[in-house]
Chain A
Amino acid sequence: MKQLKFGDMIMIALILLAAISLFIYYQYTNSTSSAEQVIIEVDGEVIKTFDLPQNELVQYKVQIDEDDYNLVEIVGNRVRLKEATCPDQVCVKEGWISKAGEALICLPHKLVVKISGELVEDDGVDVKSF
Chain B
Amino acid sequence: MKLKQISVIIMLIFILIITGCGKRSSEEEPSTIKTNFVMGTMVTVTVYGENRNEVAREVLDELDRIEKLMSINLDDSEIIRVNKNAGIKPVKVSDDTYKVVQTACEFAEKTDGLFDPSVGPLVQLWGIGSKNARVPSKEEIAQVLPLINYKNIILNEREKTIYLSKPGMIIDVGGIAKGYAADRGVEIFKQHNVKYGYVNIGGNVIVHGAKPDKSLWKIGVQDPRAPKRGDLMGVIEMHDQAIVTSGDYERYYTDKNGKRYHHILNPKTGYPAEAGLISASTIGDNSLRADALSTSVFLLGAEKGQQLAEKEGFKVILITDKKKVIKSSELGDKFEITVEGYTP
Contact = CB atoms under 8 A, between A and B. Distances in A.
Contacts of B18: 19, 22-23, 26
Interface of A: 1-2, 4, 8, 11-12, 15-16, 19-20, 22-23, 26, 43-44, 87-88, 90, 93-95, 105, 107-108, 110, 112, 121, 123-130
Interface stretch (B79-87, B94-102, B203-211): B203-211
Given A125-B219, A127-B219, 18 more contacts: A2-B1, A4-B3, A8-B3, A8-B4, A11-B7, A15-B10, A15-B11, A16-B10, A19-B15, A23-B14, A23-B17, A23-B18, A95-B228, A125-B220, A126-B198, A128-B232, A129-B219, A130-B222
Given A1-B1, A44-B36, A93 B232 contact: no
Contacts of A16: 10, 14
Given A1-B1, A2-B1, A44-B36, A129 B42 contact: no
Nearest to A20: B14
Contact of B42 (A8, A95, A107, A124): A107
8 contacts: A8-B3, A11-B7, A95-B228, A107-B40, A108-B129, A112-B42, A128-B230, A129-B222
B76 to A, nearest CB: 20
Interface string B216-236: 011111100001111010010
Given A93-B227, A123-B232, A129 B7 contact: no
Interface of B: 1-4, 7, 10-11, 14-15, 17-18, 21-22, 35-37, 40-42, 44, 46, 129-131, 133, 198, 200, 202-205, 207, 211, 217-222, 227-230, 232, 235, 243-245, 247, 249-251, 281, 338
B241 to A, nearest CB: 11
A125 B37 contact: no
A70 B185 CA distance: 32
Contacts of B42: 105, 107, 112
Determine which residue in A23, A107, A110 has the highest number of CB atoms from chain B within 10 A of its CB, and name it: A107
A126 B219 contact: yes
Contacts of B207: 126-127
Contacts of A8: 3-4, 7
A126 B211 contact: yes
Given A2-B1, A4-B3, A124-B218, A129 B244 contact: yes
B325 to A, nearest CB: 15
Contacts of B244: 129
A2 B4 CA distance: 9
Nearest to A3: B3
A90 B229 contact: yes
B291 to A, nearest CB: 12
B232 A127 contact: no
Q: Which 6 A-B pairs have the closest CB atoms?
A: A19-B14, A130-B222, A130-B203, A125-B220, A128-B220, A125-B218
A130 B44 CA distance: 14
Contacts of A125: 218-220, 232, 235
A125 B215 CA distance: 12
A124 to B, nearest CB: 6
Nearest to B222: A130
A130 B217 contact: no
B7 A127 contact: no
A129 to B, nearest CB: 5
Q: Which one of A12, A22, A23, A129 has the greatest number of beta carbons of chain B within 10 Å?
A: A129
A38 to B, nearest CB: 16
Contacts of A19: 11, 14-15, 17-18
B40 A12 contact: no
B227 A129 contact: no
Contacts of A23: 14, 17-18, 21
Contacts of A87: 129-131, 133
A11 B250 CA distance: 67
B203 A128 contact: yes
A94 to B, nearest CB: 6
Contact of A94 (B21, B228, B338): B228
A129 B229 contact: no
B293 to A, nearest CB: 14
